[in-house]
Amino acid sequence: MTQTIPAPFPALRLRRTRATGWSRALHRENILTPADLIWPLFVTEGAGVEEPIPSLPGVSRWSVDGIVARAKEAVAQGIPVLALFPNTQAERRSEDGAEALNPDNLMCRAIRAIKDACGDDIGVLTDVALDPYTSHGQDGLIDDAGYVLNDATVDVLVGQSLNQAAAGADIIAPSDMMDGRIGTIRAALEAENHHNVQIMSYAAKYASAFYGPFRDAVGSRGLLKGNKKTYQMDPANAEEALREVAVDLAEGADSVMVKPGLPYLDIAIRVKQQFGVPVFAYQVSGEYAMIEAAVAAGAADRDTMVLETLLAFKRAGCSGVLTYHALHAARLMNA
């Protein structure tokens, strides 16, 4: 849309509406609230366990009881959804990621515990991919050459999705980037009467350098053989992202995600403009770590940087943001 200036200077002074706080508030185009946040949390074995993650300062893995405590904090601060990621023990990892199908795995225990404690006061979003469960760190099953097999992986992802839905997951979030998985998962959920379980598709997930601390958190960095470029997207591509989103929406996704976040705001706004659907972005571990590094170096103020970066997602058209700063941001907004 072409904008025209209705009047010349000095009749029009664009600074006029910025002169006072009340006027800036009145003319503000986007507003950030705790309801815009999804808080990613890492689950580990044990009881009363907190394991700080060195590459993610201020972020820890929590045992299930600790996850429940975080859920109650989120409810109190108005955060509507938690996103769960398990740190599966080495002895439970395998070539085929079979632990993903265990109804008593870490993810399922955490889902049930949150729902028992908080009910529908908070939503639970669960990651669907095999990298937390495989001994090789890839998101799917591999052949002898290490290539990730698409259709065989989708079969396992369907079972993983049903396992999580049966435990009480509210949103299934496939992050694997296999072709055809959204339609197959949606059909399976419908067949098992999980009609109201949402699918938030990681539709535009890029093969990014910003994921390192996350892989530390779920214990897959040292295990990963090769890279994920045969299924995650090339950072150079934008049109391909629109094709991925179109396919996932056609297959039954309720919402879509762009990952990473800040380096890909151009993708988020294009998806919103073209499709007009709920778009979420993941402010990933590397983005979080960069903010914390800037704060530690005295180069930035944490509070203002956190809120400014999160507001950027809203300005780009995102309905919400997955961020490790969720609790801190919510507290700032509620103060």
Q: Name the residues annotated as catalytic.
A: 205, 259
Query: What residue type is 62 in one-letter code?
Result: W
Which residues lie below 8 Å from residue 129, measured CB to CB, with a gap of 6+? Answer: 139, 140, 157, 174, 175, 176
Provide the Cα torsion 115, 116, 119, 123; round to 10°.
Answer: -10
Helix/strand/coil for 42: strand
Q: Chain-centre distance of CA 98, in angstroms?
A: 23
The CB density around residue 212, as the number of other CB atoms within 10 Å, is 16
Tell me the β-bridge partners of 282.
322
292 annotated as belonging to a binding site for a ligand: no
Please check whether residue 138 is in contact with residue 197, taking contact to mean a CB–CB distance below 8 angstroms: no
Contacts of 108 (CB under 8 A, 6+ apart): 102, 163, 164, 166, 167
How far separated are the first and last CA of the chain, in Å rounded?
38
Beta strands in 121-278 (DSSP E): 123-128, 171-174, 198-205, 255-259
CB 61 within 8 A of CB 49: yes
What type of residue is 154? V
SS3 call for 13: coil
On whether the CB atoms of residues 263 and 210 are closer than 8 A, the answer is yes
Distinct helix (H) and strand (E) counts, the chain: 11, 10
Would you list which residues are annotated within the binding site?
244
Would you list which residues are annotated within the binding site for Mg(2+)?
244
